[in-house]
Structure formats: C-alpha cells, structure tokens
Structure 1
Amino acid sequence: MDYVMIILGAILMIIGIAGAVLPVLPGPPISFLGLLLLHFTANYQFNTSFLILWGTIAIAVFLLDQVIPVWGTKQFGGSKFGVWGSLIGLLIGLIFLGPLGILIGPFLGAVAGELIAGKRSPQALRSGIGSLLGFLAGTIVKLIVSGMMCWYFMKEIIY
C-alpha cells in the first residue's frame, strides 16, 4: 500500500508542477496533497508544523493567484473590462493557441477589453502589459512553491 501512495504522491507532484503553469489546475494545493500522501506512508513522516506551514502556503498562493493578475491589470490602469478581457483571453488563448495562448491570451484579452471600454490604444496596451506581468508573477510564485514541495517530497524519499 505504501508503494501505491508514494507513486500517487509522485504523480500529484508532477500534476502540481504542471498546474503551476496551467491555469485550470491548482498547482500548489495538488502538490500539497502529494506531500500528504507521502506523510501517510509508514516510512516517511513530516512533522505537524511542517505540514501546517506548507498547507497554509499552498492555500495562500492559490488565493493570491486569483488576485495577482487582477491587481496587475489595475495597477497599470486597467478597468473591469480589462480584467474580464484578460480572463476571457486566457481561456480562448489556451483553447486555440495551446501553451503559447497562456501568455498571449491574457494580454490580448485585456487590450481588447480596454478598447471595448473606450480607452485609447496606449492605455489599453498598458493594461495588457499589467495583466501579463500579473499572470507571470503568479505563475512564478506557484512554480516556486510547487517546486519546493516537490523537492521536499524527493528529499524525503532519497534520504
């Protein structure tokens, strides 16, 4: 049974790292589930404070990831139209452009949203840049957190 939990935990770690980049998967919480599976095996144990810390970090990063792109768009002068355009652009970009759409979609969507709202091109471009930077910042934070949990997972198994 332990081998099954270790393998499932490793699969969750891989999915968690993929989820740090793909917007449809909550990367850090999935990675944390991988740590929990390893913890519930007979041979690998984490202490309670470690699990509480990483569980809190996973939840906090998940929540921040919902806010950071909106914050980035607003910091660069974006409106609700830019925020909604960014979200719609992300989904459309992901469907039609695959992984490249994750970067291009939010930018173009925010620009389109701001143009629909009546903003001039320079303002709309600024909003698009803010959306892109917010998305990239959130992705980097998720990658770091999921990567750290994966490192602890592997460290526990190897040593």
Structure 2
Amino acid sequence: MDIILIALGLLCLIIGFLGSFLPALPGPPVSWLALLLLHFTDKVQYCTQFLVITAIVVLIVAVLDYYIPIYGTKKLGGTAYGQRGATVGLIVGLFLGPLGIILGPFVGAFIGELIHDNKDVKKAIRSGWGAFLGFIAGTVMKMAVCIVFAFYFIKDWLVSYF
C-alpha cells in the first residue's frame, strides 16, 4: 500500500508543480495532497501542526494568487477601474487558456483604465504592466511553495525508506 501512496504522492508533486503555471491545475493544493499521502504511509508521520500549517500556507497562497495582480495594478498607479479590470481580465483569462491567464490581468487593467480615462494611455499601460507583474509574482510564489513541499516529501521519503 505504501508504494501506491508514494507513487500517487510523486504524481501529485508533478501535477502540483505544473499547476503553478498552468491554469487548469491547482498547484499548491495538489502538492499538499502529496504530503498528506506520504503521511498515510507506514514510515512517515507528520505531526498535525505541520499538516495544518502547510494547509494554511496553501490557503493563503490561493488567496494571494488572485489578489497580487490587483495589488500590482494599484501599486503602479492604477485606479479602482484598473483593479476591477485586472480582476475581470483574470476571470475571463481562465477560459482562454494559458495565454489568457497571462495576458488577462494586463488587458483587463488596461481596458479598465481606458474606460476611466481614455486619454491617458500611458497610465493604462502602466496599470496593465502592474497586473502582469503581479501575475508573475503569484506564479513564482506558487512554484516556491510547490518546491518546498516537494523538498519535504522527497527528503522524508528517502530518509524513511532508504
């Protein structure tokens, strides 16, 4: 049974890492599932505190992943229109595949700023750029969490089984 749990855990790590930048897959939650699967083996037992803390990290990352593009828009001078546009762009981008996810917040913030003030194209571009940078920051954050979870999984698996 342990072999099946470990194999499923390794698969979850791979899917989780891919999910850090592919929109259809939830990266950190799937990587966390790998830790939970390893916990159910006979030789690796994580304490409840570790599992709860890592689950909280996953929830925080999931929330921040949607908030960071909006924050980036605001930080680079975007108005509420740009922030709402970045949100709408992110949601619409979810249905347009990987390119939509990447460009959605930028285009949404850009259009939102143009709706607010169609004469300030420079500000609209800056707002869109902030949304794009926020998206990249969120992706890096998700990848980092997945890498840390993979580290714990592999370290604890190797130490316990070999």
Shorter-chain TM-score range: 0.7 to 0.9
Alpha-carbon shift at residue 88 of structure 1 (Å): 4.1
Deviates more, 1:122-131 or 1:56-65: 56-65
In structure 2, distance between residues paired with 1:99 and 1:65 = 15
Alpha-carbon shift at residue 146 of structure 1 (Å): 0.9
Provide the residue aligned with 1:44 in structure 2: 44
Provide the residue aligned with 2:139 in structure 1: 139
Q: SS at 2:20's partner residue?
A: helix
Provide the residue aligned with 2:154 in structure 1: 154
Q: SS at 2:89's partner residue?
A: helix
Instruction: Indicate whether 1:19 and 2:28 are aligned.
Output: no
Cα displacement string for residues 38-92 of structure 1 (whole angstroms, at most 9, x for unaligned residues): 1011122223332222122112211222221111112222234323433443455
Aligned pairs, how many? 158
Provide the residue aligned with 2:78 in structure 1: 78
In structure 2, distance between residues paired with 1:49 and 1:90 = 34
Deviates more, 1:123-132 or 1:101-110: 101-110
Written as runs of structure 1 = structure 2, the 5 A alignment for 1:106-117 is: 106-117=105-116
Alpha-carbon shift at residue 130 of structure 1 (Å): 0.9
Q: SS at 1:21's partner residue?
A: coil
Amino acid at match of 1:9: G
Alignment root-mean-square deviation, CA = 2.2
Cα displacement string for residues 79-116 of structure 1 (whole angstroms, at most 9, x for unaligned residues): 343234334434555655x5344333321232122112
Provide the residue aligned with 1:6 in structure 2: 6
Q: Are the structure 2 counterparts of residues 91 and 55 from structure 1 closer, same or farther at C-alpha, using a change threshold of 3 Å?
A: closer
Cα displacement string for residues 15-55 of structure 1 (whole angstroms, at most 9, x for unaligned residues): 21122213443321221111001101112222333222212
In structure 2, distance between residues paired with 1:88 and 1:24 = 17
Provide the residue aligned with 2:102 in structure 1: 103
Q: SS at 2:25's partner residue?
A: coil
Deviates more, 1:7-16 or 1:47-56: 47-56
In structure 1, distance between residues paired with 2:155 and 2:142 = 20
In structure 2, distance between residues paired with 1:92 and 1:60 = 23
In structure 2, distance between residues paired with 1:86 and 1:2 = 45
Provide the residue aligned with 1:68 in structure 2: 68
Retained in 2: the 8 A contact 1:15–1:30? yes
Retained in 2: the 8 A contact 1:94–1:100? no
Provide the residue aligned with 1:29 in structure 2: 29
**TM-score, normalization: structure 1?**
0.84
